[in-house]
Each structure stands twice: as C-alpha cells, then as structure tokens.
Amino acid sequence: MFRGFLNDRSIIIAKYSIGRLPNEDGVRLCIAKKLASAVTYLHTALPSPVIHRDLKPGCIFFNHDHVPKLSNFSLSITIPPTYSDVEDGVRGTIGYLDPAYMRSGCISEKTNVCSFGVLLLVLLAGRRAWLDIMHIEDYTVIDYVESLAYQLQAIVDPNILEEVGGNEPVEHQLHDFLELALSCTQERIGGRPFMGDVARELVQIDKSILPSYLQSTIFVIKHIGYGLNNITSVRKLISPSSV
C-alpha cells in the first residue's frame, strides 16, 4: 500500500496528510542507506549499468511500513558493456545534477554518485538541495556547506545534534558521514568513489558504538559493497578539529 513520498525537508507527503517521518532522527539516514543499496544494484547487477539520472527525495516512495522504494526511472539510461560513459542531453533536477554532466553531456556511474552525495547532504543537514539565499543564483546545499567552513555543528540538522547530546565519538561518526557525502560530490569525477566504495567507508564508520538512530542505519548500508579509496582530499579539507 502506498504511504507517501519524501520531499526535500524529510516530510512524507501522503494523499490525505502531511507529516514527519516516524522516529525522525534515524529514518532519514536509513533512507540514504536503502537508496545506496538500490543504486549499487543498478550499477553492478546487470551487464549494462543503469544510471537513474534523477536521484532526489521525490523519487523515494514509502509502503505502509514506511519502507523506502526508489522509483521514477523515466530519465534512466544504460551504459553499454565495455563503455565507461555515454553522451546524452542534460536531464534531471536542478540542485541534484552533476556539474560535470551538465558541462559535457557525458553520463557515467559517477553521475549517480554525485546526486547521491547531494541527497546525503540534504538528509544530514535537513536543507533543500537548491536554496534561495539572498537571491543568489545557483546556490546549492554544497555551497551552503562550504559557506559554513565545513563546521559540523553548523551543518547537521539540529534534530540529530539534539539526539547526539555532545557525545564526542558520535560527533566523529557524523563527521565521517559528512566527509563521505563531500567525497561523492567532488567536482573532479576521478576523485569520487564508486557506490561500492561508499559502502566500505560506511563499514568503517560502523565500527564505533553508535546511538540507536545511527546504528540501525549503518547496518543497512554496510551490506552494499566494498571499497573507498578516494576521500583523502576531502579528509584534508575537513580536519578533526572542525568537529
């Protein structure tokens, strides 16, 4: 049974009502993990990887148990075997589009990775991907994070910080989660991880004891895949002292 879909502020829009997600502090991160599992499947399970090309909250639907489902494949495209990318006209949603794809028209698995990274930032910060800040054009959640000098306390949704309650080890876990999101949205395509790479980093995050709202979320993501070797540049950008 259809329950509703997610908007850019983590609110379920249903046929007859509008309401927050149940157990809000953890469900948003759990949504990100389940989505990562679905995208990884699209990239690896078929001979020709499927690129969704429009990853965003509006493509996440919920069943009667509030289990998220990835939907709306109207803009998806496949990459032929032995090819790393294909060319096509730019399509997608402003704020979630990969800047490299917008410039070149070339689509690869990293196109989805960038959109996924934006979604992670949206879920972590509780902000829309496309922001209206002092009427500045092209101001995205990535710009918002940069404007806050990558300071975790200023970026993370207050609802999550309230749950953390100043727990330093958990704040470091959130810091690592932010690093991962930023690694996915790097301007340089070669610096972005593959979706399987994202999972290995999340396994490392899972090694620490987390509060229940994060523990259940990381448990789902860690089964996606393996490997993350390209976040060194992001780690240099965000020092532990910023936590």
Q: Give 48 or 3, the one with higher predicted confidence.
A: 48
Q: What's the Cα-to-Cα distance from 205 to each of 37, 153, 174, 178, 228, rounded to whole Å?
A: 17, 18, 9, 11, 12
- This prediction's pTM: 0.78
Active site residues: 54
Q: Is the pLDDT of residue 3 over 60?
A: no
Looking at residue 74, what is its pLDDT?
A: 95
In this prediction, residue 72 has a pLDDT band, given cuts at 50, 70 and 90, of: very high
Question: Which residues share a beta bridge with 130?
Answer: 140
Q: Is the pLDDT of residue 84 over 90?
A: yes
Average pLDDT rounded to a whole number, residues 175-203: 89
Looking at residue 45, what is its pLDDT?
A: 93
Q: Give 216 or 83, the one with higher predicted confidence.
A: 83
What are the pLDDT digits (tens) for 41-65? 999 999 999 999 999 888 888 776 6
By the 8 A CB rule, do 195 and 109 touch?
yes
DSSP 160: H
Average pLDDT rounded to a whole number, residues 112-116: 95
Burial 130-167 (b: 16+ CB within 10 A, else e): bbeeeeeeebbbbebbeeeebebeebbbeebbebbeee
CATH 3.40.50.9100 is right for the domain spanning 4-242 = no
Give SS3 for 192: coil
What are the pLDDT digits (tens) for 143-172? 999 989 889 899 988 878 887 777 787 788
Looking at residue 215, what is its pLDDT?
A: 45
Average pLDDT, the chain: 76
Give SS3 for 13: strand
DSSP 9: T
User: In a 10 Å sphere around its CB, with 0-12 CB exposed, 13-18 middle and 19+ buried, how is residue 17 labelled?
Assistant: exposed
| Range name among 151-155, 158-162, 176-180, 186-190 with the lowest pLDDT average | 158-162
Q: Give 243 or 30, the one with higher predicted confidence.
A: 30
